[in-house]
Amino acid sequence: MKFTKICSLLLIGTTYQKILTEFYIEPYGGIVFGGEKYTCVSAKNTYGIEDLSSCFNRCKLKTIKARPLVGMKLGGWIRHKNSFGLWLDCQYHHLNYCHGLCTGVNYFDLSSNDPCNCAYGSATTYLNSRGFAVTLALPFAYRWRFHEKEYAPFGCWQTYLALGPGLFLTKQCTSLTVCPHVADDDNFTVVVSDTTIINNTRNKVLRKSACLLCDGGFSYLFSRHCAIDFSLQYRFTKYTTRFNQCACLTTQKKCHLGSANIGFVINF
């Protein structure tokens, strides 16, 4: 099985290199920044009470903590004349989120046949999510070339813009801390007298989702085979994570991530 995978990778790499007239590899690093918008945070059997469902409304875009990023590009340019290219982009970084917010909360009694049997209130909550993210993308690019030289017939200065689909994988552990509050309606009341943590576990859940990647930057070719690349990236994705613990916590979120990167390009 391992031998088959190795042969497949070698075949893909050989074919990839034949298609591209300029083949290169680029390790890079940078800083990732941005924000996450939790469109819905819900839990079943909330506070260990069977058939008590809750929904915490957290629709504000909140910043995430800036973290280092490492990545690798593998690809090249298809033709010298029109400067179209593509590459495989793989990157890794931590994805941590921790914010407090005055949150609207709705409670539902799932054992009741009455859909109006619910309670409304507000509570101060602290949402804490810790883990990491990996992005695999295949963007298609176009470049502009300047200042041709003997060792750089296609320009020692090159700017480019790329856009393409990707796969966003994240593995995070999320917990929700709920402060004391009261929620009620005509015939249904929920009293939370102590601070409670929903999904108080260290187990991380892996989630995969589609994402969109936009990449733009410029590179300087200081020798025939070496260049420095400066780029800005933007990624967008939305996904749902379910934590199958006693609380059955579910989060739905949108991620807007940007990064500033610097890489070292090796041309072949």
> Mind listing the pLDDT tens digit for each residue in 173-212?
989 999 999 998 877 889 999 999 998 787 888 999 999 9
Across 21-33, average pLDDT? 91
Q: What is the pLDDT of residue 7?
A: 45
Q: Which residues of 212-229 are buried (b: 16+ CB within 10 A; e: fewer)?
A: ebbbebebbbeeeeebeb
Task: Give the pLDDT band of residue 137 (cuts 50, 70, 90).
Answer: very high
CA distances from 45 to 2, 48, 102, 184, 248 (A): 44, 5, 22, 18, 7
Residue 226 has pLDDT above 50, yes or no: yes
Residue 28 has pLDDT above 90, yes or no: yes
Residue 259 has pLDDT above 50, yes or no: yes
**What is the chain's mean pLDDT, rounded?**
85
Amino acid at 114: D
Cα–Cα distance measured from residue 42 to residue 212, given in angstroms and rounded to the nearest whole number:
26
Go through the chain and tell me how many residues it has.
268
Strand spans (E) along the chain: 22-43, 52-57, 61-63, 67-77, 84-94, 97-109, 118-137, 140-146, 157-178, 181-184, 189-192, 196-198, 205-221, 226-243, 249-267
Work out the burial of residue 244: count CB atoms within 10 Å of its CB; fewer than 13 is exposed, 13-18 middle, 19 or more buried: exposed
- Does 2.40.160.20 match the CATH number of domain 20-267? yes
Prediction pTM value? 0.82
Residue 101 has pLDDT above 50, yes or no: yes
Task: Give the pLDDT band of residue 71 (cuts 50, 70, 90).
Answer: very high
